[in-house]
Amino acid sequence: MDIPNEVGKRVPFVYDKVLSSFSYGPDHPMKPARLHRTFQLLESYGVFGWQGATIVPPVLCSEQDLLSFHTPAYVSAVQSLSQGNRVAEAQDFGFGPGDNPVFEGMYDAFRWQVSASLTAVAQVIEGGASRVFSIAGGLHHAMPAKASGFCVFNDAAIAIRSLVDRGYRVAYVDIDAHHGDGVQQAFYDSDRALTISIHEGPEFLFPGTGDVDEVGVGPGKGYALNIPLPPYTNDEVYLWAFTQVVPQAIESFSPDIVVVQAGIDAHYRDPLTHLNVTTQGYLETLRTILALSSKCVVLGGGGYYLPAVSKSWTLAYATLLGRETDLADALPASYTEIYGTDRLRDPQADPLEEDTSEYVWGYVRQKVKQLRAKALPLLNKTPRTDEKAQEL
């Protein structure tokens, strides 16, 4: 099912090759080139010629934008390391061999990622767009003073902060296989941003957080929701858990804008995770979110099986345009000449074996039951006392 988009309505796609023109290193699982590969697939399908489709380059953000979430000492350290200087506290700031290597030009590379997400926000609050896609964003693990999980600057937290500081209420929905810990921390004590993360459970996967008992503190109590999942979770279980929590939460919160972290590392072929979601399950999740939001900023996120990344994000942008069914399942020849023959959509997944199904359903039902009993009752719809909703 396509989600209707107003005829002629602009749906910006925030992209420039600068966003994918760097590398963490040849052996690192995060490949920025996946962004350009997605762009190539969209271009091969002719999507950018569709009515409403428009490419918007990012506008470089200021250092002050970075400081809205990150500490001055951390930002300064990233600048120094990026220039090849030695920083004594580099390890304390999360840098070193492994997840967060230091490389030349690092500061500018990640500053552009933040710029893309802030440009996406501007397209909604200033440019008149209802939906926008910024595939370079969604680096949700970075902390105020620490790089984490391939993420140096937390573009999602900075983008949401820019909206909250303007008085908007924001719901953040994170469908990446990893818990959106950095974004959750940024707003853990706030009732202006609702954070929802559905992810592989903390006992199975980095970053080891995101259980149902993490619900926020102080004014933010009840405004952090987590849906942990066990390995082998397939489309059926994933969508059931999602629909048991997310629609009710968003309706109760009544946000002005929904920000989505649309990572695709829950895919069944992703090498770093253990979930079994297909492109069909991924799109159904996105459709559910779009049906709940009149204004939506969609960011990228994780995804380490490159064919699934490019195909899923191509389908996602077509869905934002209301035209996903217009994409043929056979990939265009101009694309397959470079990357090989494949199909756009995944084949139907095999059902779970009986013992596995019993385990997965038992785990998920218990977590959803706890969440609905512990966190959802704390999330009460707050009457609007401002005019921000009318401004959008």
Does residue 200 form part of some domain? yes
Please give the mean pLDDT across all residues of the chain. Answer: 94
Does residue 111 form part of some domain? yes
Structure tokens at 147: 């790089």
pTM: 0.95
Q: How confident is the model at residue 378 (pLDDT cuts 50, 70, 90)?
A: confident
State how far the Cα of 29 lies from the Cα of 140, in Å rounded to an integer: 16
Which CATH number does the domain housing residue 376 bear? 3.40.800.20
Does residue 2 form part of some domain? no
Does residue 327 form part of some domain? yes
Q: Does an H or E element contain 213, and which?
A: none
Minimum mean pLDDT range among 57-71, 272-286, 377-391: 377-391
Residue 305 near residue 127 (C-beta atoms within 8 A): no
pLDDT for the residue 368: 98
State how far the Cα of 151 lies from the Cα of 170, in Å rounded to an integer: 22
* 372 CA to centre of own chain: 23
Q: Verify whether residue 141 is a known catalytic residue.
A: yes
Decide if pLDDT at 342 tops 90.
no
pLDDT for the residue 382: 54
Residue of 70, 140, 141, 199 marked catalytic: 141
Does residue 5 form part of some domain? no
Does residue 158 form part of some domain? yes
The parent domain of residue 112 ranges over 11-391
Does residue 320 form part of some domain? yes
Structure tokens at 197: 């993360």
Domain count for the chain = 1
